[in-house]
Structure 1
């Protein structure tokens, strides 16, 4: 099984973002202010839509050298706009 193959209800292994993953991330974070998140890897889960777990580097604008790892969880419904469901600092 490749990283791109998905089983309904199961999470994929973390893998590099596809152009579609990048678009979902960008759309979900539209209008988000404060911390900046740069996605590095993603894991997905097919449900009624798709859940995403983006492994990101987080930074505070104006605070050079301040960064940490975070998981930005998003949900992309079949019809509708992707949105953030949770953010975890790791």
Structure 2
């Protein structure tokens, strides 16, 4: 994966251990929806921005519904990763 400062990489469909850790750190306490990543891209800034292509699954209503979503996370140079945006993808 080529990293360009300030630019986004292409989506990578092999989720690395580091990317999984960043996503878990950012949304670990989120309730009501579970996000399962299928791909991710990164952007180098003062830290790293992550864009995760995910399948969201509701966990609080039955039947559980699924939907595609982009989950954006920022991992600063020091400190914990945090959620910046969740964007539902609609046709």
Unaligned runs of 5+ in 1: none
> For the Cα contact (< 8 Å) 2:58–2:64, is it kept in 1?
no
Q: TM-score, normalised by structure 2?
A: 0.90
For 1:78, what is the secondary structure of its paired residue?
coil
Unaligned runs of 5+ in 2: none
User: What residue in structure 2 maps to residue 14 of structure 1?
Assistant: 11
User: What residue in structure 2 maps to residue 72 of structure 1?
Assistant: 71
Which residue, out of 53, 66, 70, partners 1:55? 53
Do structure 1's residue 83 and structure 2's residue 82 form an aligned pair? yes
Aligned length: 87
Q: Hey, which bits of structure 1, 4+ residues long, moved more than 4 A? A: none
Cα gap change, 1:65/1:30 in structure 2, threshold over 3 Å: closer, same or farther?
closer
For 1:38, what is the secondary structure of its paired residue?
strand
